[in-house]
A and B are shown apart, each in its own frame.
Chain A
Amino acid sequence: MDALSGLAMGFSVMLTPANLYYCFLGSLIGTMVGVLPGLGPLAALALLLPVTFTLSPIAGLAMLAAIFYGAMYGGSTTSILVNIPGEAASVITCLDGHQMALQGRAGAALGMAALGSFIAGTLSLVVLTFFAPALAAIAIRFGPPENFGLMALGLVCTLFMITGSKLKGLLMIALGFLLSSVGMDMVNGNERFTFGVTNLTAGVELLAVVIGLFGISEILLNVERIVQNTLVAERIKKLLPTWSDWKASFAPILRGSGLGFILGIVPGGGPITASFMSYAMERRIAREPERFGKGAIEGVAGPESANNAAVAGSMIPLLSLGIPSNPITALLLGALIIQGIQPGPLFITQRPDLFWGVVAAMYIGNVMLLVLNLPLIGLWVQMLRIPYRFLFPIIVLLAMVGTYSANKNVFDIWVMLGFGVLGWLLRKLEYDIAPFVLAFVLAPLLEQSLRQSMTMSVDGAMILFQRPVSAGLVAASLFLLVLMVIRQFKTKRGDS
């Protein structure tokens, strides 16, 4: 099936009232999550994951993907109007976006952020449409050894994602590995680390872990300091950018789209890195770099385009290879696995309706978000007035219902609470908890593919080096590992 007929099929799958409704709901929730500081897209996705279990896989995925890029759209609103980033990828937008708002140009900043996001999102979706199937066509010939190589590469790439102390990041990866092994061993039925607790036989519930680590810990951190929002502009006027705004922003939007898309594909990249790098690039190549930080529209257009393009980019390794490149796509991978779907090289051929449906949902969601973000800006501004003390208890209640709904088991709520407190402590002590989720999701797949490879091999582990693709992937993993060690060693020497 070629890309265009696949896309046509995706639209035919998506264009039903129910699927459109859930895509719209995801866009709405995503924008809301982006607008409200204190709840990131990862926590929101974790909280809403259980809702999708009752939906069809396509409706659930469309909704989750819409939350992801909806948050990227919505995050700029708070950055521009309140100078507090709604989510991490919009931190950099505070610099020039808020300055524009102080100068009475909040409308232009918000308009350019939304239009730039739309253009970048659409451009990167076009590339995704043609690139992901091509990649999957190569990967379709993969067996267990190649899958092991792929997972190993994904895991090594996770090392590059670690922010802060590498030792702490590595420990998080090892902890993710260890906790993923709790429960019954699928190969021989042995129980591992269950210690006779029946509730642990099926393993530690992914939902309880992510809702606890990201959702509850974030709430615990936020309730420590209740901040009041100070809106710069009550009424937003002139949302459509002027001709001179367009002239200044067109090239940054295109550059942000390209950069964001590439960084989205690279494991460890993603929207946050993309927005920061886009800002740095725009500032470096600007004729008057001193304008940056004082209300330069390029400082809004570039990063906001980059973070949206990164969303589409990060879908490529997920949908075509089954490798998550950031914690949010790791959660999407978890959602697929819970639904009984294994994304990977065979995903496009086995479930073309789902693959192309998700791609079509992203095109549709992109248009919905433009409609939601420009005419409804007044609504989002009003939402910023809701006091935190009213929001947090409702979010906590949602977290509990969500966690409970996965297995209808209260034990999972205790697990969620435990991981919430652990996440709070780890974040206080500057641990990067994102690699934990990636390792927790990837480790069982890695272990399974290695054990399958060994079972089919007559030369033991040598099978990984006897097949060219797996040998190449394992070699690439080792090369990246050595590269990281050298880089770390050089940094250490430079410091001392």
Chain B
Amino acid sequence: MVERLLNLFWILLGSGGAWHAWTLGLRGPSGPESGLFPFIASCAIACLGLALMATRRSAAGNPQWPDAGSGLRAAGVALGIALMAFGMDRIGFVAAAAIAMPVLLRTIDRASWLETVLLTAGAIAAIVLIFGRLLGMPLPRGPWGW
């Protein structure tokens, strides 16, 4: 089911891409225009999506989908990243990481609260020190200046 949906997505992506590339122009007086390469790629995606939909040969044998527990762990990682992405510009790296790290640590393997606090503080301090100070990489700061 998931695989068929993905194949359908390829067909739609390829068709949409081909249509948009066509509007960019395929050939001009001096040869290929902006649309030619993406048009070819999009057509290939749509055709290959159709071929995958039509044949069962290429279907994944037995994909192992996560059960509730492992799915929750993977979702926890995705949520942690999303929280960081949402917060970094608004409250700065340190505060965003201080929120996201516990989510990651608690969902991946139920770290104790003491381990969570120590690891969060240690990891943030190490990153600020290595990236922010030693490598001079500017990390986003919050409204309070850190």
Name A's B-contacting residues (CB within 8 A).
50-51, 54, 165-168, 170-171, 174-175, 177-178, 181, 185, 187-188, 190, 192-193, 216, 219-220, 223-226, 387-390, 392-394, 396-398, 400-401, 404-405, 408, 410, 413-414, 416-417, 420-421, 424-425, 428-430, 443, 447, 450-451, 454-455, 457, 460-461
A23 to B85, CA, bound (A): 32
Query: A188-B34, A394-B123, A451-B32 are contacts. A171–B49 as well, Cβ < 8 Å?
Result: yes
**Residue in contact with A175 in the complex, picked from B3, B32, B45, B89, CB distance below 8 Å:** B45
Q: Cβ of B84 and Cβ of A413 under 8 Å apart?
A: yes
Residue contact B37 to A429, C-beta cutoff 8 Å: no
Shortest distance from the beta carbon of B41 to any chain A beta carbon, whole Å: 4
| Cα–Cα, bound, A145→B9 (Å) | 36
Cα–Cα, bound, A448→B101 (Å): 43
Interface centre among B51, B60, B108 (most CB of A within 10 A): B108
Q: Is the CB of A167 within 8 A of B137?
A: no
Task: Determine which residue in A167, A420, A443 has the highest number of CB atoms from chain B within 10 A of its CB, and name it.
Answer: A167
In-complex Cβ contact of B119 among A393, A417, A430, A455 (8 A): A393
Determine how close the nearest CB of chain B comes to the CB of A5; give it in whole angstroms. 34
Asked if B114 is at the interface of the complex by the 8 Å CB criterion, the answer is: no
A168-B52, A428-B60 are known contacts. Are A226 and B138 too (CB-CB below 8 A)?
Answer: no
Known contacts A451-B31, A454-B30; 13 additional CB pairs below 8 A are A50-B137, A168-B52, A174-B45, A177-B44, A188-B33, A192-B24, A224-B66, A224-B73, A393-B101, A396-B77, A398-B127, A413-B85, A428-B64
The proximity string for B residues 20-64 relative to A, scoring 1 for CB distances below 8 Å and 0 otherwise, is 110010000011111101101110110011011001011011011
Residue of A nearest to B70 (CB): A224
Q: Mark B100-123, 1 if CB is under 8 A from A, else 0.
A: 110011001111000100010001
Instruction: Identify the interface centre among A193, A223, A410: most chain B CB within 10 Å of its CB.
Output: A223
Whether A224 pairs with B74 at a CB distance below 8 angstroms is: yes
Q: Are B30 and A455 in contact (CB under 8 A)?
A: yes
Whether the Cβ atoms of B108 and A393 lie closer than 8 Å is yes
Check A454–B127 contact: CB distance below 8 A. Answer: no
By a CB distance below 8 angstroms, the chain B residues around A175 are: 41, 45
Q: By the criterion CB–CB under 8 Å, are B109 and A388 in contact?
A: yes
- In the bound complex, how far is the Cα of B2 from the Cα of A421, in angstroms? 14
Q: Which residues of B contact A392 (CB under 8 A)?
A: 77, 104, 108
Closest partner residue, chain A, to B64 (CB atom): A428
Q: Give Cα A166–Cα B104 distance, bound, in whole angstroms.
A: 36
Contact of B45 among A171, A185, A401, A417 (CB under 8 A): A171
Candidates A177, A424, A455; contact of B31 at CB < 8 Å: A455
- Asked whether any CB of chain A lies closer than 8 Å to the CB of B12, the reply is no
Give chain B residues whose Cβ lies under 8 Å from the Cβ of A171: 10, 44-45, 48-49, 52
Q: Are B37 and A390 in contact (CB under 8 A)?
A: no
Assess whether A54 is in contact with B108, with CB atoms less than 8 Å apart: no
A425 to B74, CA, bound (A): 12
CA distance A392 to B104 in the complex (A): 8
- B52 near A220 with CB under 8 A, answer no
Interchain residue pairs with CB less than 8 A apart (16): A54-B136, A168-B58, A181-B37, A185-B34, A193-B17, A216-B77, A216-B81, A389-B109, A390-B119, A393-B108, A397-B104, A404-B139, A410-B85, A410-B88, A410-B89, A413-B81
Residues of B within 8 A of A167 (CB): 48, 51-52, 55, 58
Which one, A178, A400, A443, contacts B84 given CB within 8 A?
Answer: A400
Query: Which residue from chain A places its CB closest to the CB of B37 in the assembled complex?
Result: A447
Contact A220 B77 (CB under 8 A): yes
Main DSSP-derived SS at the B contact region: helix
The closest CB in chain B to the CB of A492 belongs to: B57
A-contact bits for B75-90, CB 8 A (1 contact / 0 none):
0111011101100110
Knowing A389-B105, A389-B108 are in contact, say whether A405-B131 is a contact too (CB < 8 A): yes
- Judge whether A190 and B119 touch: CB under 8 Å: no
Contact present for B88 and A404 (CB under 8 Å) = yes
CB neighbours (8 Å) of A54 from chain B are 135-137
Decide if A401 touches B17 in the complex (CB within 8 Å): no
The yes or no answer to B140 lying at the interface (CB within 8 A) is: yes
B88–A413 contact, CB under 8 A?
yes
Q: Is the C-beta of B144 less than 8 angstroms from some C-beta in chain A?
A: no
Provide the bound-state CA to CA distance between A430 and B64, in Å.
11
- A417 contacts B6, CB within 8 Å? no
Set of chain B residues within 8 Å of A457, measured between Cβ atoms: 31
Name the residue on A nearest B58 (C-beta): A165
By a CB distance below 8 angstroms, the chain A residues around B49 are 171
Among B32, B48, B63, B82, the residue within 8 A (CB) of A430 is B63
Structural contact, A223 and B78, CB atoms closer than 8 A: no
Residues of A within 8 A of B10 (CB): 171
Contact residues in B for A417 (Cβ distance below 8 Å): 78, 81-82, 85
Report how far A219 CA is from B66 CA in the complex, Å.
14
Chain A residue with Cβ nearest B43? A174
CA–CA, A190 to B45, complex, Å? 23
Distance between A62 CB and nearest chain B CB, rounded to angstroms = 16
**In the complex, which residue of chain A has the Cβ closest to the Cβ of B30?**
A455
**What 4 A-B pairs are tightest by C-beta distance, nearest first?**
A454-B31, A389-B109, A177-B41, A393-B104
A residues within 8 A CB of B136? Answer: 54
Q: How far is the CA of A192 from the CA of B33 in the complex (A)?
A: 11
B20 and chain A: residue at smallest CB distance:
A193
Contact in complex: B6, A393 (CB < 8 Å): no
Closest B residue, CB atoms, query A453: B31
